[in-house]
Amino acid sequence: MNAQTPSRTWNPYVAGALAGLLLVLSVWITGKYFGASTTYVRAAGFAESVLDAARVAAMPYFMKEKPVIDWQWMFVLGIVLGSFAAAALSRTFRLQAVPDRFAARFGPSVGRRFVVAFVGGAVAMFGARLADGCPSGHGLSGSLQLAASGFVALTCFFVGGLVVARLLYGSTQQGR
Amino acid sequence: MELIFGLVTGALFGALLQRAEVIRYDRQLGALLLVDMTIVKFMLTTILVGMVGVYALVDLGLAKLSLKPLILGGTVLGGLTFGAGWALLGYCPGTAGAALGEGRTDALAGMAGMLAGAALYAEAYPTMKATVLTWGDFGKLTLPQLLGLNHWPVIAVMVVGGVLLLRWLEKKGL
């Protein structure tokens, strides 16, 4: 392989199966199932504690999900680092502010993309906390345990996403 | 020690997500627009492998299930809300971190938004707990319990159904 060419993308079935084995090992060794969204609650708790620690300490949701660094916090941090390492090693790291599909539909404005991403992130996280999980916690970990909540949540994630994606891009959008 | 396991597990998971390209906005929106099913293939394979492995561990007494309760009000309304935000952002809470790792700076704006959303939910929690989170509370319920079956027949149906769905996606060229 040439040193300049990026490595080929892995087959999604192979990578998905390896992720499944990783999850099984994690459950075996540490008893931990994958999840991500609780970490944002803990991080928000940290940030708010800087401003008003007493208020945070008295809020019921931060009593439930305390601002501490736990297994999942390190898991989410690990995802960032692992992805960076894999991107660097495979020469697929690329700084990009506006994704191709977004730019083709809404133009190259970085400001517009960042506002949409921020609002989308806020709406998504509010929903994930109301549902008590995200595609990791409910979608992967919940449904693989055959949890009724996991299947209901996963279905609702996709229904909400399909509707809004269709509104954003219209029904004529084709190709990839 | 638990923290180091978390970091290593996350790093391996992040690397797999990156190499399979499932963390890109274009792929996530591709799935929601039903034109590119890469993330569905990845997720479904992970779920099926995890399902067999985790239930084998549970039967051998080596692991415990960790179930979230089904509260229809929260799970349905929260799930639909999440989906709407996901379509705008194009990353989910786990994949946003991985997208940032491979250089997608818009994921940072998304993660800032997610922190704001988490803070907002913390404010709304007492209200939600008294209203939405009391609607249709079925507790911690699994599909085998609901059907009154052993888990292995249910897993067998899931695996066969999952494989048939994936074969159909491949046939359709999605």
Interface probe, candidates A126, A143, A156, chain B, greatest B C-beta count within 10 A: A126
pTM of the model: 0.95
Chain A CB contacts of B17 below 8 Å: 15, 19, 79, 83
How many contacts does A have with B, using Cβ atoms within 8 A? 522
Question: To the nearest 10°, the Cα dihedral for A156, A129, B145, B168?
Answer: 30
Please tell me the distance from the alpha carbon of residue B35 to that of residue B14, in angstroms, as a whole number: 24
Task: Provide the 3-class DSSP secondary structure of residue B8.
Answer: helix
Q: Does B87 sit within 8 Å of A120, measured CB to CB?
A: yes
For the stretch B12-22, pLDDT in tens is 999 999 999 99
Q: Does B126 sit within 8 Å of A150, measured CB to CB?
A: no
For the stretch B50-60, pLDDT in tens is 999 999 999 99
Buried b (16+ CB within 10 A) or exposed e, A100-117: ebbbeeeeeeeeebbebb
Q: Does B103 sit within 8 Å of A146, measured CB to CB?
A: no
Compare all CA atoms of chain A with the CA of B116 and give the residue at the minimum distance. Answer: A122
To the nearest 10 degrees (0 to 180), the angle between helices B25-32 and A148-169 is 100
Q: What is the mean pLDDT of residues B128-132?
A: 97
Q: Are A85 and B11 in contact (CB under 8 A)?
A: yes
Closest partner CB to B132 (pick from A73, A123, A130): A130
Q: Are A106 and A112 in contact (CB under 8 A)?
A: yes
Integer angstrom CA distances of residue B28 from A20, A158, B39, B122: 20, 11, 7, 28
For the stretch A53-96, pLDDT in tens is 999 999 999 999 999 999 999 999 999 999 999 999 999 999 99
| B91 Rama sector, left if φ>0, alpha if ψ -120 to 50, beta otherwise | beta
Compare all CA atoms of chain B with the CA of A148 and give the residue at the minimum distance. Answer: B142
Q: What is the mean pLDDT of residues B45-52?
A: 98
Q: Does A150 sit within 8 Å of B68, measured CB to CB?
A: yes
Closest partner CB to B117 (pick from A98, A99, A123): A123
pLDDT, mean of each 10-residue run, chain A (176 residues):
74 98 98 97 96 95 95 97 98 97 97 98 98 95 97 98 96 52
Nearest to A35 by CA among A122, A131, A139: A139
Tell me the HSE value of B125 on the side-chain side, using a 13 A CA sphere.
19
Residue-level pLDDT at A176: 43
For the stretch B138-161, pLDDT in tens is 999 999 999 999 999 999 999 999
Distance from CA of A110 to the nearest CA of B (A): 8
Q: Does B118 sit within 8 Å of A44, measured CB to CB?
A: yes
Compare all CA atoms of chain B with the CA of A66 and give the residue at the minimum distance. Answer: B122
Residue-level pLDDT at A5: 79
Closest partner CB to B84 (pick from A36, A164, A175): A164
Nearest to A95 by CA among B31, B20, B7, B108: B108
Distance from CA of A113 to the nearest CA of B (A): 7
Judging by beta carbons within 10 Å of its beta carbon (0-12, 13-18, 19+), is residue B114 exposed, middle or buried? buried
Q: Are B88 and B109 in contact (CB under 8 A)?
A: no
Q: Does B25 sit within 8 Å of A43, measured CB to CB?
A: no
Please tell me the distance from the alpha carbon of residue B67 to that of residue B63, in angstroms, as a whole number: 13
Chain A CB contacts of B141 below 8 Å: 147-149
Q: Does A146 sit within 8 Å of B144, measured CB to CB?
A: yes
Integer angstrom CA distances of residue A72 from A32, A79, B14: 8, 10, 13
Please tell me the distance from the alpha carbon of residue A16 to that of residue A24, in angstroms, as a whole number: 12
- In sequence order, what E strands does A47-158 have? none
Judging by beta carbons within 10 Å of its beta carbon (0-12, 13-18, 19+), is residue B48 exposed, middle or buried? buried
To the nearest 10 degrees (0 to 180), the angle between helices A110-131 and B72-89 is 160
For the stretch B72-118, pLDDT in tens is 999 999 999 999 999 999 999 999 999 999 999 999 999 999 999 99
